């Protein structure tokens, strides 16, 4: 098997909680040596963000499940860089690195000499990625950034939830997760530039920018029409029927993306007349008359059992699905076939649960050779390597 794509790249992670560690975990999956620098007094805050907590076979607390969701594949060193000695050790580590990821407040690392301008003199190839709520510039630059706040300010919550009801955030911290992903993209592009030119650079990532960016078609719906999109529950602003619908024993998702699929849906439901009705024959017409269309579908679907209907729709090539909880999603034959759940051996007799990265690569597959580290687990090992490099 070939080396993983980022083998030989060293990353120093001065980040905690989610966005920065998410980026670090993905870089580790791709083969980078990611060294997580943690405060000896408790480490990453998410180690305590439970229950639930991961337990060893003998009952030892191995940190919260939240921590393990975003720190696979890394080495942990416990160094207090608020002390001159600790800061000097981290500088020596960074001198050996290709990438730094940090998510401190704007200017927060300058007093330790761990800001980009201080470090690049000794390491001109360094790619330095700062992740904050609002970025390094603008009137909000010094505000703390929390995913919930960002979802509210950047438009996400205004289009999430039922019409007329309380605005809703997503059920996972999507501003953090997307910012972590975009950070990896930017870091890899910056590494390519450094490879060609020998010149590193500063990467300024903001949750606010990311959350606006990923609103996708909803952004363009506004920019073209001048009208801000609104909450539509599970309906789609531009497609119909594309929503959750009730059946006799629960609910299904119906995602009709074109007129041919709509005709097939009507055939399954015995509503062939709708496919030829000018009010419903085309997607623009269905969007315009979505309320009446939904009423007709709800009345018909009340007589269908969920699984029987889903089987018929699949046979007719009409996109539809059940609404699984997370347990049902992991138990789904497709998730099992794709190996989405992993159990990682920590070398001490514990199999720690994890979820593989959603990338299958034929020549340079991701590596999953270590679970999330214990606090300071690799301090001695990493510092010994540092001494060898300094010698």
Residues designated as active site: 176
Tell me phi and psi for residue 23, to 5 degrees. Answer: -60, -45
CB 68 within 8 A of CB 18: no
Burial (0-12, 13-18, 19+ Cβ within 10 Å), 312:
middle
3-class DSSP string for 334-384: HHHHCCCEEEEECCCCCEEEEECCCCCCCCCCCCCCCCCCCCCCCHHHHHH
Interior angle at CA 288, CA 284 and CA 291, nearest 5: 130
CB 75 within 8 A of CB 378: yes
3-class DSSP string for 6-17: CCCCEEEEECCC
CB 105 within 8 A of CB 144: yes
Distance CA 16, CA 25 (A): 12
- How far from chain centre, in Å, is Cα 204? 18
Distance CA 150, CA 359 (A): 28
Tell me the HSE value of 192 on the side-chain side, using a 13 A CA sphere. 7
> Alpha carbon of 174 to those of 128, 178, 181, 211, 382: distances in Å?
23, 6, 10, 8, 33
Burial (0-12, 13-18, 19+ Cβ within 10 Å), 80:
middle
């Amino acid at each position: 098997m070939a080396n993983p794509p980022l083998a030989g790249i060293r990353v120093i992670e001065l980040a905690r909680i989610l966005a920065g560690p998410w980026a670090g975990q993905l870089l580790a999956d791709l083969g980078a040596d990611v060294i997580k620098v943690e405060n000896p007094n408790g480490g990453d805050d998410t180690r305590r963000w439970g229950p639930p907590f991961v337990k060893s076979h003998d009952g030892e607390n191995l940190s919260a499940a939240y921590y393990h969701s975003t720190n696979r594949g890394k080495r942990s060193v416990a160094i207090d860089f608020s002390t001159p000695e600790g800061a000097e050790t981290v500088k020596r580590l960074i001198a050996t690195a290709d990438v730094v990821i940090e998510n401190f407040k704007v200017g927060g690392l300058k007093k330790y000499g761990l800001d980009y301008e201080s470090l690049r003199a000794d390491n001109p190839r360094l790619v330095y990625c700062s992740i904050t709520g609002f970025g390094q510039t603008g009137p909000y630059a010094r505000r703390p950034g929390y995913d919930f706040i960002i979802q509210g300010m950047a438009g996400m919550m205004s289009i999430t939830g039922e019409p007329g009801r309380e605005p809703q955030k997503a059920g996972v911290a999507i501003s953090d997760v997307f910012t972590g992903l975009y950070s990896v993209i930017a870091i890899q592009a910056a590494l390519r530039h450094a490879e060609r030119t020998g010149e590193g650079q500063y990467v300024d990532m903001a949750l606010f920018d990311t959350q606006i960016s990923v609103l996708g078609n909803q952004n363009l719906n506004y920019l073209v029409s001048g009208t801000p999109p609104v909450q539509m529950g599970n309906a789609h602003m531009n497609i119909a029927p594309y929503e959750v619908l009730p059946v006799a024993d629960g609910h299904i998702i119906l995602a009709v993306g074109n007129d041919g699929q709509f005709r097939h849906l009507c055939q399954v439901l015995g509503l062939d007349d709708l496919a030829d009705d000018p009010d419903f024959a085309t997607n623009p017409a269905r969007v315009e008359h979505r309320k009446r269309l939904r009423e007709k579908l709800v009345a018909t679907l009340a007589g269908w059992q969920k699984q029987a209907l889903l089987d018929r729709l699949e046979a007719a090539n009409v996109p539809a699905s059940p609404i699984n909880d997370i347990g049902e999603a992991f138990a789904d034959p497709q998730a099992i076939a794709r190996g989405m759940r992993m159990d990682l051996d920590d070398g001490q007799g514990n199999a720690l649960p994890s979820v593989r990265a959603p990338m299958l690569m034929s020549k340079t597959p991701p590596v999953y050779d270590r679970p999330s580290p214990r606090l300071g687990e690799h301090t001695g090992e990493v510092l010994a390597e540092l001494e060898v490099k300094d010698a």
